[in-house]
Structure 1
Amino acid sequence: MYLKTDRILTALSIMLDVAFHAGRSGVVSGADIAQRSGLLRRGIEPVLQALSRAGLLDSVRGPKGGYRLGRSPRVMNLHEIACAVGAGGREPNEATSTAGERDNPLQNIVMEPLWRELNDGVKDKLSNVTLADLLQQAERCGLERPRQVPISFTI
């Protein structure tokens, strides 16, 4: 289910942050991601782990460690990111209904089909948008990606 899911929005924001600030070659720390997004580090850690397990992020250990994209942003669509944190596979009624609501004909006949249709539309849209599309949109809006400063060995 896509609608009303903060975890999906958090995952999409994290992936865009990593793509924008680190790309495939740089590394961005979880603390920096949390600070820029206004979230607690411990709150985004489970999402970072899910994205890493799905191969969407690579985790780099060590003092200069952090996260980088697991694949090119051109091949990662937003639906794939949403699925990595648990969306898309559940029926709308699974997570939200109680035993008493399941017998409600208005819920069963009217709301559930509408919710499935809305979620299918969101799934289709997310499947057709990549991280690269979002990066291009950021550039069109005037946001500049940070430049990697070359390492200087002068003393």
Structure 2
Amino acid sequence: MPLISTKGAYGLTAMYELSKHKEDTPLQIKEISSNANIPQNYLEQLLSKLRRAGLVESIRGAKGGYILARKPEEIIVKDILIALEGDLKILDKRTDNPVLNMFFLEAKENMKKLFEISLAQLNEYQDKYNQVLHYNI
């Protein structure tokens, strides 16, 4: 089982799209779907889970859509992934070896620390990507 499934990757992508939207108006599902290349019906399911987790808010009506429930600086990637995946796992079950169980538990905690960045901090990766693009031109 992968650490992060398509559900987690798509959900994080949708949240990143919402974090880049600077206007006070909500983003409609079709906009997020188009910008992030996520199937619209799948995106609806993901946004529903993220709403129940308190990470996004839905606005009803003709001009409705989704907005972040908090500032991008306050939303942690780990929380998004856990809301969608249930938990971040390295292993689905325990082994019969207590030493390996301790190792896997420590590895899981270290992995969670990797995802302790905010949505706003993902912009640093945009900057890195831009530098690589510029360098390869």
Specify the alignment match of 2:79 in structure 1: 80
Q: Deviations over 1:87-109 (max 9, x none)?
A: 32768325xxxxxxx8xxxx644
Q: Which has the larger radius of gyration?
A: 1
Mark the CA change 1:25 to 1:112 in structure 2 (over 3 Å): closer, same or farther: farther
Count of residue pairs the alignment pairs up:
129
Matching residue within 126, 131, 146 for 2:119: 131
Q: What is the Cα-based RMSD across aligned positions, in Å?
A: 2.8
Q: Which has the higher helix share?
A: 2
Q: TM-score, normalised by structure 1?
A: 0.68
Give unpaired runs (5+ residues) of structure 1: 95-101, 143-155
Does the 8 Å contact 1:73/1:132 carry over to 2?
yes
**Counterpart for residue 148 of structure 1:** none
Q: Secondary structure at the match of 1:92?
A: coil
- Equivalent residues of 2:14, 2:32 under 8 A apart: yes
Counterparts of residues 96-115 of structure 1 (less than 5 Å): 108-109=96-97, 115=104
C-alpha displacement of 1:7: 1.2
Match of 1:55 in 2: 54
Alignment-mate amino acid for residue 55 of structure 1: G
SS in 2 for 1:68: strand
Percent of pairs with identical residues: 24
Amino acid at match of 2:27: V
The alignment status of 1:13 with 2:13, answered yes or no, reads yes
Structure 2 gap ranges (5+): 131-137
- Evaluate the alpha carbon distance shift between residue 4 and residue 111 of structure 1 in structure 2; reply closer, same or farther with a 3 A threshold: farther
The C-alpha deviation readout for 1:81-133, integer Å capped at 9, x for no partner, is 11211332768325xxxxxxx8xxxx644876665444322211112x10111
- Residue identity in the other structure for 1:36: N
Length-normalised TM-score, structure 2: 0.76
User: 1:126-149 CA distances to partner (integer Å, 9 max, x unpaired)?
Assistant: 12x10111134425655xxxxxxx
CA spacing shift, 1:114–1:45, aligned 2, 3 Å = farther
Structure 1 residues 30 and 93, CA gap change in structure 2 (3 angstroms): same
Distance in structure 2 (CA, Å) of the matches to 1:120 and 1:141: 28
1:2–1:122 CA contact under 8 A, matched in 2: no
Instruction: State the Cα distance separating 1:79 from its structure 2 match.
Output: 0.8
